[in-house]
């Protein structure tokens, strides 16, 4: 083999694995079976949770005191918002877990629980965003 042929063969050998590893398909594109439906729900919940966390952080940043005289008052408000958020997370998880348990014998139990969490998370995100909209 010539040096050029060897280098060409080596280049193809190194490039071939890159061509065969396509991006994983998005389960939300097809949802052809229960596994894909659940995978899509998990993906959507992660996205909605990220939006919720962003809204929460924006609210907490907006609740920083503008003047030293407001520090104690704003600290108390932030403390209440934090407690409410923690309680809300427990509420969401317990409520949606109860839906899962109620549908335990059905094949759609995961999808039902995920949809519950997604809907509640979207609603809570809007609530938190409403705080800073005023």
Question: What CA–CA distance (Å, rounded) separates 122 from 54?
Answer: 12
- Taking the C-alpha atoms of residue 124 and residue 50, their distance in angstroms, rounded to an integer, is 12
| Fold of the CATH domain 34-133 | Substrate Binding Domain Of Dnak; Chain:A; Domain 2 (1.20.1270)
pTM of the model: 0.78
Distance between CA atoms of 75 and 97, rounded to whole angstroms?
33
User: pLDDT tens digit string along 56-113?
Assistant: 999 999 999 989 999 999 999 999 999 999 999 999 999 999 999 999 999 899 999 9
Domain boundaries, the chain: 34-133
Whole-number average pLDDT of the chain = 86
Calpha distance 95→19 (Å, rounded):
45
63-to-1, 67, 84, 114, 134 alpha-carbon distances in Å: 71, 12, 15, 31, 13
Look-up of token digits 């348990």: 101
């Amino acid at each position: 083999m010539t040096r050029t042929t060897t280098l060409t063969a080596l280049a193809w050998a190194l490039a071939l694995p890159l061509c065969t590893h396509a991006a994983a398909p998005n389960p939300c594109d097809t949802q052809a079976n229960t596994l894909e439906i659940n995978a899509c729900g998990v993906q959507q919940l992660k996205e909605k949770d990220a939006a919720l966390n962003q809204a929460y952080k924006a609210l907490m940043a907006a609740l920083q005191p503008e003047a030293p005289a407001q520090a104690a008052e704003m600290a108390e408000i932030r403390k209440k918002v934090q407690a409410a958020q923690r309680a809300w997370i427990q509420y969401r998880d317990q409520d949606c877990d109860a839906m899962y348990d109620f549908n335990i014998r059905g094949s759609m139990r995961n999808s039902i629980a995920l949809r519950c969490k997604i809907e509640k998370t979207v609603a809570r995100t809007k609530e938190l965003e409403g705080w800073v909209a005023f």
